[in-house]
């Protein structure tokens, strides 16, 4: 047992050793300290990144937002704070905090100005994604910050830092906060600021922990009282940051479960030959939970509706109200576009499915590639091979048949016996009794 423990310990020590390839500590600290400063190039890069990210959020372009995150130098002050705490260098912590505040204010102001000028004021999906942070954002920021500090401590630089910039996403929440200010939507503003706060705090915490794992030399506090205060402040900040995110994550999970169950309930229960569900709404806000469906066609009677309400418990939807709108109650709720979409969906779903012999193009190409490799082993003289689906019109009837055509070319002419043998082999290989072989 002890031998096994030593083997595992040795394995972990070799493969998870961060001391190998580690840069000199003074170089690590100087690099992070320089990236903490927001003057000159860093400040201009920040401003450009803010406008690019704002435009990306405005037009809902993921690629543009990623570009802005790669340009932005805003992670520098955050890592400076984390490293400063890790090595007990108070001036670096103060410098990081000061520059992070400057970057935050500039980011919010610049994005607010952009959204005030922009003619587009709709909140798209990319922007909405930055207004409801949860515990998963905590994990992303934490692991991203750890990866960033590991990369910053190496003598050879890699592509980890750009990846961390994309994953932790400090820039988009700032711009979303600017959108909230420009449009007067305080829920968007505070949600985005909270996400930004989460990212900043947990990147700094991860940086701190990695610096301690690397055993970087710590400056000594003048007295133990200051050390206790610093530790207390860190704990308080972590608790204040993580508790709301856990609550929001719980709400998101509960809402997801509710919507899944509600969708299953409607799909399985509202199956009537002469009644169609035109639209459905799933509402989950605090204690207010309801499912609202809009029906056209034959009206459901009260007994049927009561039976549907009784079935809610089977789907874990206790306490959920079921609102059924139909007949006169639905007259003012009907949207013609919804009806058209519903009818088209039914037509599409009820269309006869294509024969299983008619493979999708991508799948057919993949199969042909495998078969061609097998044929080259059996017949080294083969030059080319391919298959296709061909519609054959019969001369004596109006019937049309779909036939799989296989075409081969050889360096030398093959015998009729070999052609027949190949055709039978291909019919078995493709599971198609109607396959025809053409040899060139």
Q: The whole model's pTM is what?
A: 0.59
Pick the closest to residue 160 from 97, 79, 219 (CA basis): 79
- Pinpoint the alpha helices (H) of 120-223: 125-128, 135-152, 160-168, 171-183, 186-213
The answer to whether 407 and 390 are in contact (CB under 8 A) is no
Q: What span, in angstroms and rounded, lies between the C-alpha atoms of 437 and 387?
A: 9
The answer to whether 323 and 291 are in contact (CB under 8 A) is yes
90: number of Cβ within 10 Å: 14
Q: What is the pLDDT of residue 358?
A: 46
Structure tokens at 426: 């291909």
What are the residues facing 390 on neighbouring strands? 403
Q: pLDDT digit of tens for each residue in the chain (440 aa)?
A: 677 777 787 777 777 777 777 888 888 888 888 888 888 888 898 899 999 999 989 888 888 888 888 888 888 888 888 888 888 888 888 888 899 999 999 999 999 999 999 888 788 878 887 887 777 777 888 888 888 888 888 877 666 666 766 766 788 898 999 999 999 989 889 888 888 888 888 888 888 888 888 888 887 765 667 667 766 776 777 677 667 767 766 777 788 888 889 999 998 988 888 888 888 888 887 678 889 988 887 888 889 889 999 989 889 888 888 998 886 555 545 555 555 555 555 555 555 554 444 445 455 566 778 888 888 877 888 888 888 877 777 666 666 777 888 888 888 888 888 888 888 888 888 888 888 888 87
Strand-pair category, 321-325 with 288-297: parallel
Q: What is the pLDDT of residue 117?
A: 92
The answer to whether 115 and 54 are in contact (CB under 8 A) is yes
* Secondary structure (3-state) at 271: coil
* CA angle (350, 352, 355) in 5-degree steps: 150
Q: What span, in angstroms and rounded, lies between the C-alpha atoms of 112 and 282?
A: 33
Structure tokens at 33: 């300290």
The answer to whether 28 and 153 are in contact (CB under 8 A) is yes
Q: What span, in angstroms and rounded, lies between the C-alpha atoms of 28 and 22?
A: 9
92 Cβ neighbours under 8 A, 6+ residues apart? 29, 32, 33, 36, 80, 81, 83, 84
List of domains in the chain: 19-219 (1.20.1080), 261-350 (3.30.70), 369-439 (3.30.300)
Q: Quick one: CA dihedral 309, 314, 317, 319, positive or negative?
A: positive
Q: What span, in angstroms and rounded, lies between the C-alpha atoms of 146 and 86?
A: 13
């Amino acid at each position: 047992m002890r031998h096994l423990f030593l083997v595992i310990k040795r394995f972990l020590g070799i493969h998870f050793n961060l001391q190998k390839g580690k840069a000199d500590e003074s170089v690590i600290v100087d690099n992070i300290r320089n990236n903490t400063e927001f003057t000159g190039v860093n400040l201009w890069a920040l401003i450009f990144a803010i406008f690019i990210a704002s435009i990306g959020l405005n037009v809902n372009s993921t690629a543009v937002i990623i570009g802005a995150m790669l340009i932005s130098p805003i992670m520098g002050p955050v890592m400076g704070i984390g490293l400063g705490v890790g090595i007990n260098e108070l001036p670096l912590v103060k410098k990081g905090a000061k520059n992070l505040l400057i970057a935050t204010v500039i980011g919010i102001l610049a994005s607010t100005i952009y959204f005030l000028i922009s003619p587009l004021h709709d909140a798209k999906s990319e922007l909405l994604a930055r207004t409801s942070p949860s515990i998963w954002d905590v994990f992303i920021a934490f692991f991203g910050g750890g990866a960033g500090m590991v990369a910053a401590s190496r003598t050879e630089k890699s592509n980890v830092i750009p990846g961390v910039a994309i994953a932790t996403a400090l820039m988009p929440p700032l711009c979303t906060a600017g959108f909230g200010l420009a449009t007067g939507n305080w829920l968007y503003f505070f949600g985005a600021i909270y996400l930004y706060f989460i990212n900043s705090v947990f990147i700094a915490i991860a940086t701190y922990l990695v610096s301690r794992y690397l055993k970087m030399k710590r400056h000594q506090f003048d007295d133990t009282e200051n050390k206790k205060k610093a530790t207390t402040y860190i704990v308080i900040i972590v608790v204040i940051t993580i508790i709301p995110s856990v609550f929001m994550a719980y709400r998101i999970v509960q809402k997801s479960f509710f919507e899944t169950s509600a969708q299953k309930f409607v799909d399985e229960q509202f199956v009537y030959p002469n009644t169609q569900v035109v639209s459905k709404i799933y509402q989950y806000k605090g204690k207010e939970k309801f499912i609202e469906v809009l029906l056209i066609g034959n009206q459901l009677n009260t007994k049927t509706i009561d039976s549907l309400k009784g079935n809610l418990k089977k789907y874990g939807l206790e306490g959920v109200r079921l609102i059924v709108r139909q007949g006169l109650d639905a007259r003012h709720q009907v949207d013609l576009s919804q009806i058209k979409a519903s009818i088209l969906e039914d037509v599409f779903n009820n269309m006869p499915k294509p024969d299983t012999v008619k493979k999708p193009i991508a799948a057919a190409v993949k199969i042909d590639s495998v078969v061609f490799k097998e044929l080259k082993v059996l017949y080294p003289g083969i030059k080319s091979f391919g298959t296709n689906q061909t519609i054959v019109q019969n001369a004596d009837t109006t019937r049309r048949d779909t036939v799989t055509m296989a075409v081969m070319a050889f360096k030398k002419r093959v015998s009729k016996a070999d052609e027949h043998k190949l055709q039978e082999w291909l019919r078995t290989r493709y599971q198609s009794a109607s396959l025809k072989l053409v040899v060139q």
